[in-house]
Copies of this chain bind each other. A is one copy, B any other.
Amino acid sequence: MKEYNEYLRMVNDAISNLRLPARPAGLYDPIRYTLDCGGKRLRPVLTLATCHALGREPITAIHQAIAIEMFHNFTLLHDDVMDKADVRRGRPTVHVKWNEETAILSGDAMLTTASMLLDIKVGDHIQQAHELFNGSAMNIYEGQQLDMDFESRTDVTVEEYIEMIRLKTSVLLGCACGMGALMADAPMETQIRMFDYGVNLGLAFQLQDDYLDTYGNPETFGKAIGGDILNDKKTWLLIMAMNEDTTGTIRSLLGPTSDPQTKIRAVREVYNSLSLPERIHELISAYIDTAIKSLDYIDLAPEARTLFMDLALKSASRDK
Contact = CB atoms under 8 A, between A and B. Distances in A.
Interface of A: 21, 24, 26-27, 78, 81-82, 100-102, 104-105, 107-109, 111-113, 115-116, 119, 126-127, 130-131, 134, 137-138, 141-142, 144-146, 148-149
Contacts of A131: 119
A130 B117 CA distance: 11
B141 A116 contact: no
A24 B168 CA distance: 13
Contact of A138 (B112, B138, B141, B148): B112
6 interchain residue pairs of minimum CB distance = A27-B145, A82-B101, A24-B145, A112-B137, A109-B141, A116-B134
18 contacts: A24-B149, A27-B145, A82-B104, A82-B105, A101-B148, A105-B141, A105-B144, A105-B148, A108-B108, A108-B141, A109-B138, A112-B138, A113-B138, A115-B115, A116-B138, A119-B130, A119-B134, A130-B130
Chain A contact surface mostly: helix
B101 A24 contact: no
A46 to B, nearest CB: 21
A130 to B, nearest CB: 5
A111 B24 CA distance: 21
A105 B144 CA distance: 8
A104 B105 contact: no
A193 to B, nearest CB: 25
Contacts of A101: 82, 148
B27 A108 contact: no
Nearest to A23: B142
B127 A104 contact: no
